[in-house]
Structure 1
Amino acid sequence: MKIFSTSISALEKGIQYSGMKHKAISQNIANVDTPNYKRKEVSPNFGQFYQDAMNAKKTDSRHHDFTGTSKQAFTINNTSHSYSHNGNNVDIDKEMSDLAENQIYYYTMIDQLSGKFQSLQNVIKGGKG
């Protein structure tokens, strides 16, 4: 028996994605001056995985079922370019921008999840608040 709806599961995946992205960005910022450090980023597959999960709610019998696993996500090193003479390719301005964007994304997911749980709590209490 499934306790939570697919939307709660999709929000959970979004929060996991944000957590992985935050970890990668934090490592990049911490190693901004480390020689030969190559910036890390979360695989684009995970973002697509999250979008697939968000679209998984079937509103029509012709829609495809969502079949995926969270193991599709991983962190990769970006070695495409170098910003400094020591081989490091971390751009602190980009990392700080990505961090701010990820924080907004995270708080949005948390707010939506909180709303879902608030709705469940109202149902459990019988609509009496």
Structure 2
Amino acid sequence: MHRPLSLLTAVLVAVLPAVAACGSDTAEPTPTATPTSVAATPDTAQIDQVKAGSFVIGFRGAFPGLAAGRDDAAITAIFTETCAEIRAGDPEDEVLAALSDRLAAGGAEATDAETQAVYQMVAVMCSGR
């Protein structure tokens, strides 16, 4: 029952030090191809691609059922869209509702606990710059 949260904690412990090491203020982000499923806006364009890549790895490891049938671009879109809403200051309940819809779009429905765990994962990874 608590497996997703335990996995999330393990993933965050493993991934966040790498993300922090890669996200130094002196490094300029290298322009990369933007996922075609996400419209390029100032908020989504500024999201560090290393963090997005780390999210994809963490999401696949912690939520294999939700990741099934999704390519990396689709999982990156979950991260970038949710992160943009968090950075815009949208109310948490609205972000959670939108995230729940995004997670369901892959065919599998996320439980409330899984949605909350993914939200926390995104919030931690997209905080700061």
TM-score normalised according to structure 1 size: 0.27
**Higher normalized strand content (fraction of residues):** 1
**Bigger Rg over Cα:** 1
